[in-house]
Amino acid sequence: MDSMTLANQITDYLESAGITINGSHPWDIQVHREELYGRVMQEGPLGLGEAYMEKWWDCERLDQFFYLLLKASLDKKIKTNVPFSFYTRYLLSYIINFQSKQRAKEVAIKHYNLGNNLFENMLDPYMIYSCAYFKNTDKLAEAQVAKLELICQKLQLKPGLRVLDIGCGFGGFAKYAALKHGVHVTGITISEQQYHFAKKFCEGLPISLFLKDYRDLNEQFDRVVSIGMFEHVGYKNYETFIETVHRVLSNDGLFLLHTIGSNETSTVINEWTLKYIFPNGMLPSIAEIAKHVEKKFIVEDWQNFGAYYDPTLIAWYDNFKNNWHAIKSQFDERFYRMWTYYLLSCAGSFRARMNQVWQIVFSKHGVPGVYMSPR
C-alpha cells in the first residue's frame, strides 16, 4: 500500500471517531512527519508512542484523543503489524517467569527508583501512587485520603491489630492507618528509593518497613492489604501470591486487594507501556483472580471504581506539568514527552473503560453474619 493510500485510510478511521488529522480541536493530532502512518502500521502501539516521544506528532489533549480512539475501538479496527518482539515475548510468557524474584526488581529500577523528587512533585501529601476515590470531592489530596479511609473501614481496623502492607510504596497507607486507626503496620517493598523515603516518612510511628519480596514472608497478621502492587505479580505467580497471603493471614483476618484489572485475560500488556513504563507488568482479569482464590478465600466484597483513575491521572499530569521546573534538571525533554504520553494515554484508556480498578475483600472462612462494605 502506497503512503498516500495509507494516510487516507488512517484519516478515514480517525474521522469516524471524531478525530481530524491537523484539525482545530484540541484532541486532533498534528502530524509533523508523513512517515508516521507507515510507522504506526508497521510497529503498532510501540511505534505510535515512540513517534510521539520523537516529535513526529503532537496533540493538545492526548487524553481525549485516546478516549475517542479507544471508544470507537480503532485499536481493533486498524490492523497494524505486530512487532516480532511482541510475538516472541507472548510465547516466552508461557515459558519464562518474567516476574521471578530477580526479574521483579526490574520495575523497581526502571520506574519506582526514578527519583523520589519526581513523585513528590506529582503525587498528594500521602504519596499515594494508585487510583484515588473521587466520590465526594474533585481534589486529589482529599480523594486519596478518602481512598485510604475506605480501605481502613473495609478492613475493619481497630487499635492493636497487626497489618501487613504488601508493596507499601512510599508508606502512605501505613502512615495513615497507624495515625488514624492505631494499628501496627509491617510494610514491604522491593524499591530501595521508596523504602528509604518511607522510613523517614513514617518515623516515630508503629510501622516496620523492610526491603523484601512477598515470597519471603512468614509472620502472621490480622489484616493484609495490597494496593497497586498485584499488577507486577504476573500470572505465573498469582497462585504463589494468594497462597502466601493465605499462609500469613490469621484465620479470622481480612485481606483487601486493590488492583488495576483487565476486561480480558492476557499474559502481556501494551508493548510501549511494557518497554518504557512498567517492565514485566501484567493486568489480572476477573477470571484469573477467581481461579486462584477458589478454595482458599471467600469473596466478601468486590467494588469497581476504575472511572476514578481518569481524574487521578489528570491530577498527576497537572502536578507533573506545573512542577516540571522543579524536576527538569534530572530529566530531558524526551522523558517529559514519555511521561506525558504515559499519564494522558492511560487517562484516556480509563475514561473509555478499557481497564478497571477493583477493591476486593476476602476472608478465609466468611465473616460471621453479613459483611457490610462501606462505599
Separation CA 282–CA 304 (nearest Å): 18
The number of CA neighbours under 13 Å toward the Cβ of 12 is: 8
Please tell me the predicted confidence (pLDDT) of residue 269: 77
pLDDT value of position 84: 52
pLDDT at res. 280: 84
Helix, coil or strand: residue 369: coil
Confidence of residue 267 (pLDDT cuts 50, 70, 90): confident
For 65-75, the pLDDT digits (tens) are 999 999 999 98
pLDDT band of 220, cuts 50, 70, 90: very high
Which pLDDT does position 283 carry in this prediction? Answer: 95
Residue 94 has pLDDT above 60, yes or no: no
106 band by pLDDT with thresholds 50, 70 and 90: confident
pTM over 0.75: yes
Residue 102 has pLDDT above 70, yes or no: no
User: Does the pLDDT at position 80 exceed 80?
Assistant: no
The pLDDT, as a whole number, for residue 87 is 47
Residue positions annotated with a catalytic role: 346
Residue 361's DSSP bridge partners are 256, 301
Question: Percentage of the chain with pLDDT > 90?
Answer: 83
Name, in order, each residue with C-beta under 8 angstroms of 208's C-beta and a sequence gap of 6 or more.
184, 185, 186, 187
Confidence of residue 111 (pLDDT cuts 50, 70, 90): confident
* Domains of the chain by residue range: 3-81, 101-363
Q: Please enumerate in sequence order all residues whose Cβ is within 8 A of that of 217, keeping only pairs 6 or more positions apart, or say none.
A: 164, 166, 188, 244, 247, 248
**In a 3-state reduction of DSSP, which class is residue 231?**
helix
Superfamily of domain 101-363: Vaccinia Virus protein VP39 (3.40.50.150)
- Of 171-185, 211-225, 258-272, the one with minimum mean pLDDT is 258-272
pLDDT for 92 beyond 70: no
Please state, as a whole number, how many other Cβ atoms lie within 10 Å of the Cβ of residue 70.
Answer: 20
Average pLDDT over residues 202-229: 97
Asked if residue 103 has pLDDT above 80, the reply is no
